[in-house]
Structure 1
Amino acid sequence: MSDFNASMASSASGMVAQTSRLRLSAENIANADTPGYRAKQMQFQLQTGADGALRVLPGRVELSSLDGERTYQPGHPMADAEGYFVGSNVNLATEIANAREAQRSYEANLRMFDQARQMASSLIGLLRR
């Protein structure tokens, strides 16, 4: 049974990590038009649990190092003395692709979790006979 538990723990950690990734993509998309906003990025970390199962953990959230686009608009409240302000550095196409990938990875982990749960349930049913 411990193998089933380890498999479900690995899948559950993957779902948590992908949820965090999807949340960051949603924040980036929501702030795409916010001047000066820097896109947030996250790396994953692997951890081996006491049961020997590999788990994926959301890592530290970091701000993108890319500069936002400078836009000339002298009447803008955030414009500098030359009339320019810095927009966000969010790339909508990249963020939408990241969100789709996170969603599909979440669904794959959910299927793995459900498969392990069904196998454990079947094994318990066989042992009860």
Structure 2
Amino acid sequence: MSDFSHSLTASASALRAQAARLRHVSENISNADTPGYRRKTVPFEMVQKDGKDMVQAGRVQLDRRDLSRIYDPSHPMADDTGNYRGSNVDLMIEIADAREAQRSYEANLKMFDQTRQMSSSLMELLRR
């Protein structure tokens, strides 16, 4: 049974990590037009708890790429030259990250469900 437990723990930790990643990707997408906004990224870390390998989301990191400069003299944040700093969010990258996180989440959910089904089948066999 401990192999089932290890598998369920690994799947559950990966589900939590991908959910955190998807949450930050959605924040990036929603703030793509916010002046001065920096893209957030979430690295994954392998950890061991009670002898079980797990993955968890690390600390949120801000993308240090330069912010885009946008020319709009009528914008309230525009400087003397008519420019203001936009965000460094690239929507194509965020959409690709969102799809990857969604697919990884679905794969881990499938693994969790299959492990649960195998465990239930084993219990039925042992009852006979």
Pick the TM interval, shorter chain.
over 0.9
2:65 matches 1:61: no
Residue 37 of structure 1 is matched in structure 2 by 37
Percent of aligned positions with the same letter in both sequences? 59
- Separation in 2 of the partners of 1:55 and 1:81? 52
Residue 102 of structure 2 is matched in structure 1 by 103
What displacement does 1:113 show?
0.5
- Separation in 2 of the partners of 1:84 and 1:114? 52
Q: Deviations over 1:14-33 (max 9, x none)?
A: 00000000001100000011
TM superposition score normalised by structure 1? 0.96
What displacement does 1:49 show?
2.1
Runs (4+) of structure 1 exceeding 3 A deviation are: none
Task: Give the gaps of 5 or more residues in structure 2.
Answer: none
TM superposition score normalised by structure 2? 0.97
Residue 16 of structure 2 is matched in structure 1 by 16
SS in structure 1 of the partner of residue 8 of structure 2: helix
What displacement does 1:81 show?
2.1
| Corresponding letter in the other structure for 1:97 | A
Please say if residues 38 and 68 of structure 1, whose CA atoms lie closer than 8 Å, have aligned partners that are also in contact. yes
- Separation in 2 of the partners of 1:56 and 1:77? 44
Residue 126 of structure 1 is matched in structure 2 by 125
Q: Deviations over 1:40-94 (max 9, x none)?
A: 01101101121x3211101000111011211121221111122210101000000
Task: Give the gaps of 5 or more residues in structure 1.
Answer: none
Residue 3 of structure 2 is matched in structure 1 by 3
- Separation in 2 of the partners of 1:112 and 1:54? 15
Tell me the C-alpha RMSD between the 2 structures.
0.8
Residues matched between the structures, number? 128
2:81 matches 1:77: no
Q: Which moved more, 1:71-80 or 1:27-36?
A: 71-80
